[in-house]
Amino acid sequence: MAEETHMPESIKPLRKRKSGHKKGNKAKKKQKQFQGIKERVKIDPKMKKFLRKKARDYNSDDEEEDESAHGIGDEKVSLHDNDKQDFGIEVEGPENEDEDDEIQPGITKFSEGCRAFRIAFMSIMKKSVSDDSLGPVLSGHEKLVAEKLAEEDAERKVKREAKKEKQLVGEKGHVKPANYLDSHEKFLIGVATKGVVKLFNAVNKAQNAQKGLDPSRTKDAKIIKKRRKEAYFSELGKTPASDSNAKVHKSSGPVDSEGPSWAPLRDNYMLTNSKLKDWDKMPDKVVADDFGKMSEDSDSDD
């Protein structure tokens, strides 16, 4: 009675579970059980019934059923022992399978591999890695790679040196001037200033003479011409004497010390020259040159 009443209850949860669980498994189980029953004739029906129930109970997660089943649990264990593997295994097989399917097989298998991996990993970690630029990964080709790298390095070094040298050659003679004026620079500025002052003074003298006169008027123009001429003569008369002192003038001093430096002022100008006809085609050079000297003279003369 109790069994029968229990049965539907036990089935219910089973069905519930079936929805979530493998159905095929159950069917297989039953089949196996029946096969087992067929084969085993020795087992009495009472026992068979009990076992079947027991198996069902075991499969169901109902706690009540579990408790009720517990009371007989000992017997079952003894039964298992008695029957040895024929039924126990048959029943337990799926049980184990169930559990294995859920968790066991992966872990158990992995645990062994895990250990090996752990050992290997630990051994790697224990290794002290040298401070090479090469990682431990490349350690297999350590020599080869190191050689190559060294070669590259040397090559780069040579290239760098060559470039530097080239740059140095390019910069040869280049000097950055100092922030202050040293004595030499001051001396040079002094010389240049002297030259400028001389020129300005000469210009002043020359242009003062024609001051206040309008060159467009013929009368004034004549006067200008005259004064200019006088100024020239006075300048040129002084030239040789002042030359010897003037540093700036030293350059042109000896060149034209024999006479008036400007060609037209020489006594024999145009007289000795037979090409009077072509005077306008005269070499411009003489004039240009003399003007060049003029500027030089004016630099040096007061």
Partner 1 sequence: MARFRSKRRKVSMKPAVKKNQGNIDHVTGDKIPKSFVFSRGKLPSLLKQLQMDLRKLMLPYTALNLREKKRNNLRDFLNVSGPMGVTHFLILSKTETAPYLRVARTPQGPTLTFKIHEYSLAQDVAQSQLRPRCPQDLFKNPPLIVLSGFGSGEQHLKLTTIMFQNIFPAIDINTVKLASCQRIVLLSYNKDTKLIDFRHYSIRLQPVGVSRRIRKFVQNHQVPDLRSLQDVSDFVTKAGYGSESEADDEAATVTLVSDLGRVNRASTKSAVKLQEIGPRMTLQLIKIEEGLCSGSVIFSEYGVVRDKKMQEENQKNQEEDEDNQGDDDGDDDIEENKEEDEEECV
The binding site for partner 1 (CB under 8 A) comprises 167, 169-179, 184-185, 188-189, 191-197, 199-204, 206-208, 210-211, 228, 247-255, 283-285, 287-289, 291-296, 298-299
Nearer to partner 1, 43 or 206 (CB): 206
Nearer to partner 1, 16 or 217 (CB): 217
Classify residue 116 by burial, with Cβ atoms within 10 Å: 0-12, 13-18, 19+.
exposed
**Three-class DSSP category at 245:** coil
In the complex, minimum distance from the CB of residue 219 to partner 1, in angstroms, rounded to a whole number: 18
One-character DSSP codes across 30-90: HHHHHHHHHH--SS-HHHHHHHHHHHHHHHS--HHHHHHHHHHHHHHHHHHHHHTHHHHHH
In the complex, minimum distance from the CB of residue 156 to partner 1, in angstroms, rounded to a whole number: 22
Please say whether the beta carbons of 257 and 240 come within 8 A: yes
Question: Six-digit token pair at 107?
Answer: 């872990």
Nearer to partner 1, 84 or 211 (CB): 211
In the complex, minimum distance from the CB of residue 235 to partner 1, in angstroms, rounded to a whole number: 9
Q: Which residue has the tokens 């872990």?
A: 107
Nearer to partner 1, 166 or 217 (CB): 166
Nearer to partner 1, 135 or 283 (CB): 283
Question: Six-digit token pair at 120?
Answer: 């290997």
In the complex, minimum distance from the CB of residue 167 to partner 1, in angstroms, rounded to a whole number: 8
In the complex, minimum distance from the CB of residue 121 to partner 1, in angstroms, rounded to a whole number: 58
